Amino acid sequence: MGGALIRALLRRQERWVLAAVGVVLVCVVALPLGAPLLSLGSSGGSLSRAFRDLTNHARLWILLWRSTWLSSAVTVASLCAGVPLGLVLGRTDVVGRRALALALALPVSLPPFLLVLGWYYIAGRSGWLGSERGSAWLFSDAGVIAVLSLAFLPVVVALSALGVRGIDASIEEAARVAAGPRRTLVWILLPAIWPSIALAAVLVFAMAFSELGVPMFLRRDVYPAAVFARLGGVDYQPGEALVLALPLLPVAGLLMIVERLIFRGRSFAVLGASHLSTNPLALGAWRLPASAVCWTVAGLTGAPIVALIAKAGLRGLLAGLDYVGASLVNSLATSLIAAASIAALAAVVGHGIARRIRGSALLDALSMLAFLTPAAVLGTGLLAVYNRPMTGWLYQSLAIIVLGFIARYSVVGVRTMAVAVAQSSPSFEESAGAFGARYVRRLVAIVLPMHRRALVGAALLAFLFCFRDLETAVLFYPPGGEPLTVKIFTLEANGPPPVVAGLAVVHAATTLVALAIGSAWFGTKA
């Protein structure tokens, strides 16, 4: 009997492993995202009344509209600058391509509110280039759009560059034999990478919509700030925050539909096809002007970091290290544990969607939904689900931050693994299967060793996203368990500027160390 059961379990390993991952994702994603809806039904009418009151409140809709148009403007601005930059970086002989890519990598690894802090030191009223007019502009909607566009620009650049580099060389060369570079770019390369561009648009919109730090710093009212206001300070009203999260669900739904339409029936093997373009397109006379533009943009994205370093100085940096307390350890511990967990989830789900294993698409959709949903929904949902006596041990420890990170950023790892696995032939695994290896053994002995670079890449990316997170963790960090980003965010209002800048430099330096370790590892394994 027991032997038969074990045999049955072994035969269905694939299903059981996916089911276990599914349970994890349901606990950390589906339940929290469903919490606002469930709470309406189970509150005995009090939350329903609160929702009715809120929906009658004009300010709610004004805030929602402001958040929507600001995020749309950020998306359009990032695309307008980022797509041409990505194409140039991905396929042309622009001066210092690799260095440019690296220069753009650091700013995107930092939380945008650190960048706005840097911009404040440059263009604020008392900044180095500051003036009344400049300060008024920075503290306006235009300032929010400019800062966030520059902060998210590298996402668009990276996806466009990866998209164009992933195009099979012969597709482009066949066009070049008949037409010039400009026509090839517009009619062949751009349409070929539109899924990458559309994905970049969805991601930038989602990140801009969730953004809390930049609009709050620049004193511009946005919807997530209203939710945050119900969860902090003297005005603590978690029930109302939950209700406020409800109107954000249709936004998440819409983004999810767009994302599904983009990837409908597409193979993840699109990126990194086997026969890649090797010879960059020669820009000719345009090489120097194009290089100058690219380096100027890279300089603009990096300028706030330089400003933070200058503002901090050695004294600010040392003071910052005094102030940092346990927040750096909290950030590192939660981000590392979350990144390792995400890598483990990604190995199963990423492989599953690349090989079209039944059920994996649903898990992928769930993880994508958690990323696209404004962080305020996930934050209030986690609070509603886990802030109860039975799970108090979890809610009052760093584990809740880890859960939040896993929920929000698992898609980063999943998609990285999926793209990598899809590039390799399934015959490696099929032949292992023919030699008697079951699912787990194939995964452990064939898939993971073959794709260890992608797995480490997925973990590194997930770490960077978790380490830079503010908008999720700020909603439910436990007492004494604040991550570094939250520490800087709370200190920024009243703390001495050099110390705040010093803490920001500590954050940037830690990110740089993580990037350096990652690239050194990739360098030795190349």
Partner 1 sequence: MVRNQGMTVGEIIAVEELSVGFGTTPAVSSLTLSLAAGTVLALVGPSGSGKTTLLRALLGLCTPDRGVIRIEGREVSRGGELFATPEERNLAVVFQDLALWPHMTVHGNLAFGLVAKRIEATEREARIATMLERVGLRGKERRYPHELSGGERQRVAIARALVLEPAAVLMDEPLANLDVVLKRELLRLFRDLFRERSSTVVYVTHDSREALALGDELGVLEEGKLTQFGTANELRAAPATSFVRALVEDWNFQFGAAVRSSK
Residues making contact with partner 1 (CB under 8 A)? 168, 170-171, 173-181, 183, 187-188, 191-192, 275, 279
Cβ nearer to partner 1, comparing 62 with 186: 186
d(CA 396, CA 314): 36
Cross-strand bridge partners of residue 92: 281
Query: Shortest distance, CB of residue 177 to partner 1, whole angstroms?
Result: 5
Other CB atoms within 10 Å distance of the CB of residue 44: 8
Identify which of residues 179 and 318 has a Cβ nearer to partner 1 in the complex: 179
Please name every residue paired with 168 in a beta bridge, in sequence order, or none if there are none. Answer: 276
Q: How far is the CB of 196 from partner 1 (least distance, A)?
A: 13
Quote the least distance from Cβ 263 to partner 1, whole Å. 15
Rounded Cα–Cα distance for residues 350 and 356 (Å) = 10
The least distance separating partner 1 from the CB of residue 283, rounded to whole angstroms, comes to: 13
- CB of 7 or CB of 275, closer to partner 1: 275
Phi, psi (deg, nearest 5) at residue 168 = -60, 130
Nearer to partner 1, 194 or 428 (CB): 194
Closest approach of partner 1 to the CB of residue 92, in Å? 14
Residues 6+ apart with CB under 8 A from 437: 445, 446
Nearer to partner 1 by Cβ, of 100 and 188: the residue is 188
- Nearest residue (CB) to partner 1, 125 versus 275: 275
CB of 420 to partner 1, least distance (A): 22
Closer to partner 1 by CB, 53 or 173: give it: 173
**Is the four-CA dihedral 170, 176, 182, 183 of positive or negative sign?**
negative
CA torsion 477→338→384→233, rounded to 10°?
Answer: 10
Nearer to partner 1, 194 or 393 (CB): 194
Burial class of residue 204 (count of CB atoms within 10 Å of its CB; 0-12, 13-18, 19+): buried
Half-sphere exposure of 518 (CA within 13 A, CB side): 21
Q: How far is the CB of 210 from partner 1 (least distance, A)?
A: 32
Query: d(Cα 121, Cα 497) in Å, to the nearest integer?
Result: 9
Shortest separation between residue 160's beta carbon and partner 1, angstroms: 16
| Alpha-carbon span 197 to 137, nearest angstrom | 29
Distance CA 65, CA 478 (A): 32
Quote the least distance from Cβ 265 to partner 1, whole Å.
10
Distance separating alpha carbons of residues 374 and 402, to the nearest angstrom:
18
Q: Would you give the distance in Å from CA 91 to the centre of its chain?
A: 25
Tokens 């958690």 correspond to: 370
Helices and strands (H, E) in the chain, number of each type: 29, 0
Nearer to partner 1, 8 or 285 (CB): 285
**Least CB distance to partner 1 at residue 266 (A):** 11
120-131 in b/e form (b: 16+ CB < 10 A) is bbbbbeebeebe
For the bound state, the minimum distance from the C-beta of residue 273 to partner 1, rounded and expressed in Å, comes to: 10
Kindly state the DSSP code that residue 129 receives in the 8-state scheme.
T
Q: Which is nearer to partner 1, 158 or 192 (CB)?
A: 192
Q: How far out from the chain centre does Cα 167 lie?
A: 24
Tell me, rounded to whole angstroms, the distance of Cα 174 from its chain centroid. Answer: 36
Q: At closest approach, how far in Å is the CB of 270 from partner 1? A: 10
Residue 167 or residue 370: which is nearer to partner 1 going by CB? Answer: 167
Quick one: which H or E segment has residue 303? Answer: helix 287-323
Nearer to partner 1, 193 or 400 (CB): 193
* SS3 readout for 214-277: HHHHCCCCCHHHHHHHCCCCCCCCHHHHHHHHCCHHHHHHHHHHHHHHHHCCCCHHHCCCCCEC
